[in-house]
Amino acid sequence: MGLARRKFLKNIGLAMAGTMMIKIPALGRAIAPDGSLLLTRQPDTVWLASLYDRGQTTTYLKSRNELQYIGMPVGGILCGTVYLGGDGRLWLWDIFNRNQEGIEPKEVEWKEAVLGQAKKVRSRDGACYIQPSKNIRPLDQGMALKLTIGKETIIRLLDEASWPEIAFEATYPMATIRYIDPALPIELTLEAFSPFIPLQEDDSGLPVTLLSFHIRNKGKVPVEATLLGWLENKVAIYHAKENLHERVNTATGGKGWKGVLSAVRAKEAVDTVLQQSPDYGNLCLAALDEKANINTQLALPITAVSFNQPRDQAAVHGINEKLTGGVMVKHRLLPGKDIRTDFAIGWYFPNLSFKDIEGKGRYYANHFADAAAVVNYVQEHHARLTGDSRLWKNTWYDASLPWWLMERTFMNISTLATTTAHRFQSGRFYAWEGVGACEGTCTHVWQYAQAVGRIFPALERDTRQRVDLGIGMQPNGGILFRGEAEKRPAIDGQAGTVLRIYREHQMTTDDRFLRQNWQQIKEATQFIIRQDRNGDGLEDTPMENTLDAVWDGEIAWIAGLCIAAVQAGALMATEVGDTAFASTCKDYVEKGRRNMESQLYNGEYFIHQPDKVKGRSVIGSYNTCHIDQVYGQSWAFQVGMDRVLDKEKTLSALRALWKYNFMEDVGPYLATHSGGRPYALPGEGGMIMNTNPYKEEYPFGVKDAWQLGYFNECMSGFEHQVASHMMAEGMTTEALTLTKAVHDRYHAAKRNPFNEIECSDHYARAMASYGTFITACGFAYHGPHQYIRFAPALQKEQFKAPFVTAEGWGTYTQQQQHGRGEYRLALKHGKLSLLTCCFEQANPATVVVKAGTRQLPATFSYENGRVTITLKQAVTLHAGETLQVTMIS
């Protein structure tokens, strides 16, 4: 067997590595060695019931070989990528502004051609899906523990090889790692994170990782425990030259902390060329303990001597010599006592730039002069930053919804803490579609990402105003779909952007954003209306779309999305008092809805009607069952709008997707439908992008086009969009099953759970997963109207979930029993002003509203199973306060 053949077979094997006969709680039973998944069309009742169970934290174990691929982003958002590995070590370190494609640029040999290319899978095609990256360590970092128990000394590295068991709890944004050895008299736990506080993008965007250790003496004698952390100086990793530069480690610190600052300097004169290089900056390793000892020149490997070699003097080495700094903290623990000690790793590499893009530098450079200043800020505000971050983590996961669902719907926001997304020094948010692939904060991709607009709404609001309605806005109202990197609008991106503008308006407290940008918003909406050339309310102008082609004709997916966007335009026009334009929009919506339902519905699902002249001579979805066919209605649920499509026809379309496109095992389908990228493999479940129920010979019009491969793929962002829609329409089991299929594809036994892949790693569209959480809660919010609504799709009798509004976040609970309903909004952080609340319950006889113990005068109305309560005067809740509504039917 030749080398190439052996490598190919190895890659195929790696795709299924760790899954052989492992009981992964996926769509049923054991995965066999041949990759098959033993499952019928109807999963068994026990498995179906498990979808709804609260369950517990997903915990990955060393003993099950589940740690090797874990890479949880644990740097601040928009600051580069630092991964937390399954054993607590940090890896990847994509913080040096290299602007590479994929977390590990590579090509992997594959069994067939992908998208018309060679039999290779690039980073943008899913290389890390079939050959997951691991152990990428451009610099040396680690932790060690020394225990002294009487005369006995024990030294353990905090890595997978040194412990009988390690447990990783996957609760983004804070992971918990437990180092387990029953023979030791201590319990050791690591909590790793970067400050993450919803609505606070600056404090969530710090270039720092915190390693918070908790040690408890469970023995009967005192224990002396010393933690030692180390970090290699690899500043200017790509541009420093042995003959010109040298590495320098210096002691640094401030009130309550000590550390080592790592830098590079010129041997002689100042080197301005080096100072302008992307990887120029500094690193800081610190212990947030003023009693810590440091070593600017720590010798490796770690031995007992390493714990007793403090050195404060500056250390200078050649560029090619390894220079490592160390920080040590010692504690004495009496039996039954415990301590918490925090380490911090900060970085500062401000020289970010992209060719032909308006913006450079990193936003954090506005606030800090170096990495030591970052650590100093964290220490000064430690109680608030760590306390609020823990409060958010606890608030998010303190829900009645299944643990796995809370994990999967939220963890994709970790994409913001990777090199998919950046923030320039000017404050501009800028992003790829996936790491280093497809530039320009692409409108037709990022419109699916529901998470950012809800958790960090100021970032999205600024992007709408600065980029979509600014840099990318054309005189005719078209929005360039990649900002200054493109010369055309994409019609789906245009419609999605108008809908996002409406969402961004809702996530404020007043109408300033809307009024300030109304003229451009109106023009963007008018642009959509003008693309309906024959005036039937169905967009029919050939334009670029997210499937990277120009489609002709009237396309249900795009027409429906445009209808939803124009409906949002009508609502915004009404709010600013532009009644004439609101009327124009309503006419378009009514015509579009009527004609879409009569012309594009085939009795089972919605289709693509070809252009009357060109026919099927160009690529399209035509009579196939397309995953996004009712996407406009899906978007409407995300922003609390009325229906834009008939409910029964929409449900029929979703059921068709379930019937034709969802596969418990995609293997048999992919065996006869080639050319797509490998985002789901034999033995895995998923929803195919397009299927051909009518068995047409050329269902997509053309025989040969590289884009045809897209139709045979499972792209998780689209799957999440459909799941969120199914949840909203009452197809709860289907929504959970589809989301669980994605969740299980990204089980740590197979690949990195935190890296949903499409066109490169950490793909933005996957943040559509948050939309499923929105619809599971039946959540709607309009800040300027001081309105909030909850209508849970499941667990109506006993429901609990977090919520985020324009200025605050907290926990919503609902209890319904024997005609009595209790509804509580407990604010945990910030503030929330409310005038109107809406809940689902039978028509009540009495309604009582209280803020704390104070009863609030209110009126109520009932319609279609919903009770709308209007306070006589708006109330503002602050952190720690609760609004309680009691209704008796």
Q: 690-726: per-residue pLDDT in tens?
A: 999 999 999 999 999 999 999 999 999 999 999 999 9
Q: Are residues 414 and 372 in the same domain?
A: no
Instruction: Give residue-wise pLDDT tens across range 752-808.
Output: 999 999 999 999 999 999 999 999 999 999 999 999 999 999 999 999 999 999 999
Q: Are residues 318 and 178 in the same domain?
A: yes
pLDDT at 33: 39
* 658 part of a folded domain: yes
Instruction: Give residue-wise pLDDT tens across range 847-885.
Output: 999 999 999 999 999 999 999 999 999 999 999 999 999
Q: Are residues 313 and 412 in the same domain?
A: no
Number of domains in the chain: 3
Q: Are residues 320 and 420 in the same domain?
A: no
* 676 part of a folded domain: yes
Q: Which residue has the tokens 């030294």?
A: 155
Angle, helix 556-576 to helix 491-506, in steps of 10 degrees: 40
**pLDDT of 273 strictly over 70:** yes
Torsion sign, CA atoms 114, 119, 125, 131: positive
CA nearest 359: which of 766, 764, 78, 94? 78
Final residue of a structural domain among 357, 391, 425:
391
Q: Are residues 637 and 762 in the same domain?
A: yes
Q: Are residues 321 and 211 in the same domain?
A: yes
* 729 part of a folded domain: yes
Regarding beta strands 820-840 and 846-851, do their DSSP bridges make them parallel or antiparallel, or are they unpaired? unpaired
CA distance 499 to 632: 10
Q: Which residue has the tokens 């998470």?
A: 451
pLDDT at 43: 61
| Amino acid making up residue 91 | W
Q: What average pLDDT score do residues 302-323 get?
A: 96
Q: How far is CA 598 from CA 48, 169, 607, in A?
A: 36, 51, 11
**pLDDT of 659 strictly over 70:** yes
The DSSP secondary structure of 379-406, one letter per residue, reads HHTHHHHHHHHHHHHHHHHSSSS-HHHH
DSSP, collapsed to helix, strand or coil, labels residue 554 as strand
Instruction: Give the CATH number, domain containing residue 880.
Output: 2.60.40.700
Instruction: Give residue-wise pLDDT tens across range 77-86.
Output: 999 999 999 9
User: Mean pLDDT across the chain, nearest whole number?
Assistant: 94
Instruction: Give the CATH number, domain containing residue 338.
Output: 2.70.98
Regarding beta strands 787-790 and 820-840, do their DSSP bridges make them parallel or antiparallel, or are they unpaired? parallel
Q: What average pLDDT score do residues 223-248 get?
A: 98
| Amino acid making up residue 455 | I
CA distance 492 to 498: 10
Q: Are residues 374 and 465 in the same domain?
A: no
**pLDDT of 487 strictly over 80:** yes
pLDDT-derived band at 18 (thresholds 50, 70, 90) equals: very low
Final residue of a structural domain among 760, 777, 794:
777
Q: Are residues 386 and 324 in the same domain?
A: yes
Q: Which helix (H) or strand (E) holds 625?
A: strand 625-626
Question: Which residues, listed in sequence order, are joined to residue 72 by a DSSP beta bridge?
Answer: 84
Q: Which helix (H) or strand (E) holds 257?
A: strand 257-266
On whether the CB atoms of residues 385 and 195 are closer than 8 A, the answer is yes
Q: Are residues 358 and 505 in the same domain?
A: no
Half-sphere exposure of 464 (CA within 13 A, CB side): 29
Angle, helix 631-638 to helix 556-576, in steps of 10 degrees: 30
Question: Which residues, listed in sequence order, are joined to residue 787 by a DSSP beta bridge?
Answer: 782, 836
497: its two tokens: 């952007």
* 124 part of a folded domain: no
**pLDDT of 7 strictly over 80:** no
101: its two tokens: 């494609």
Q: How far is CA 73 from CA 33, 70, 103, 208, 887, in A?
A: 31, 10, 12, 11, 44
Percentage of the residues of the chain whose pLDDT score is greater than 90: 92
**pLDDT of 37 strictly over 80:** no
pLDDT at 115: 85
Which of 11-25, 32-46, 532-546, 693-707 has the lowest average pLDDT? 11-25
* 358 part of a folded domain: yes
**pLDDT of 465 strictly over 70:** yes
* 36 part of a folded domain: no
CA distance 395 to 804: 11
CA nearest 192: which of 442, 389, 433, 459? 389
pLDDT at 42: 52
Angle, helix 556-576 to helix 579-599, in steps of 10 degrees: 160
Q: Are residues 357 and 472 in the same domain?
A: no
* 795 part of a folded domain: no
Instruction: Give the CATH number, domain containing residue 653.
Output: 1.50.10.10
pLDDT at 3: 34
On whether the CB atoms of residues 260 and 284 are closer than 8 A, the answer is yes
**pLDDT of 520 strictly over 90:** yes
**pLDDT of 41 strictly over 80:** no
**pLDDT of 13 strictly over 60:** no
Q: What average pLDDT score do residues 18-27 get?
A: 39
Q: Are residues 503 and 650 in the same domain?
A: yes
Q: What average pLDDT score do residues 55-61 get?
A: 97
> CA Rg, the chain, in Å?
28
On whether the CB atoms of residues 793 and 772 are closer than 8 A, the answer is no
In the chain, how long is the greatest CA-to-CA distance? Answer: 90
What is the model's pTM?
A: 0.94
pLDDT at 114: 87
**pLDDT of 10 strictly over 70:** no
* 41 part of a folded domain: no
Q: Are residues 285 and 423 in the same domain?
A: no
Final residue of a structural domain among 358, 391, 424:
391
User: Within 10 A of 45 (CB to CB), how many other CB atoms are there?
Assistant: 8
Which of 37-46, 545-554, 611-620 has the lowest average pLDDT? 37-46
Q: How far is CA 240 from CA 244, 319, 320, in A?
A: 8, 7, 9
Q: Give ∠ CA 776-777-778 in degrees, rounded to 5.
A: 95
Q: What average pLDDT score do residues 154-166 get?
A: 98
Residue range(s) defining the domain that contains residue 872: 807-888
CA distance 226 to 326: 13
